[in-house]
Amino acid sequence: MANRSIPCRTRQLVRVTVAADELDRFEYVGPDQLVQIFLPPRLGAPLVLPKTERWWPEWQELEEQTRPVLRNYTVRAFDPVARQLSIDFVVHGTGPGSSFAQRARSGDELGVLSDGADYSPPEDTEWQLLVGDETALPAIASIIEQLQPGARAVAFLEVRDRNDELPIPRHPGVRVHWLHRGDVAPGKSDVLLSRLRQTALPRGRAYAWVAGESSLVTSVRRHLVTERGLEKPQVYFCGYWRRMHA
């Protein structure tokens, strides 16, 4: 699939829009949909993709010098008519995804494999809690964008500073808290958890969706279950990345 455009969204987020006829087979199943992205192993290298449904063993059997880099990302938007798929890349550090997004140009190739979605609030949910760092912003923005008119939600979003705040779709039932960690490295700040602990949350049956740096996600889940009294099935959590791991 070929990259079509790369408009920047914030200082740390770059949106890559993929356009390809093959996207007529792409199945969009939910606002936090994950895709597996195949990237060239190095700058200037050809992109060699698995060719069968047994893609995992085929990928493993490729020689290291030709094996594509494999990473998971969240779909920000999908247009089935235009056959376009948009993915927001967080560009911090020198990881493969960050490097690709910062240098990508129209015509660059990457592979995309749908990997399902997990956002699934129970029918008896009365309000939703959405928590994440930069890496979770695309999914949270999509969730808010697709909320029903009468839905209620509270979002706690951690970024470096005001310049990294992503435009979030407006919804009358959603209250957004932006938390700025400043110069503290991603994954080391406690600013989000501290604010969450200090904030009075709505009454009623809650559904929490939590994603981002692994230690942050674990701490938030522990707080919700042990201090807020949420049952474990009420909390979806996913460590999108780990500090010190590209």
Spell out where the chain has E strands.
2-5, 13-19, 34-39, 69-79, 84-90, 111-114, 127-132, 153-159, 174-180, 206-213, 235-241
- Report the alpha-carbon distance of residue 3 to residue 18 in Å, rounded: 4
Domain boundaries, the chain: 2-114, 127-241
pLDDT tens digits, one per residue of 175-233: 999 999 999 988 889 999 999 999 999 999 999 999 999 999 999 999 999 999 999 99
What mean pLDDT is predicted for residues 162-185?
93
pLDDT at 245: 53
- Report the alpha-carbon distance of residue 67 to residue 49 in Å, rounded: 8
CATH of region 127-241? 3.40.50.80
CA 144 to chain centre: 13
CATH of region 2-114? 2.40.30.10
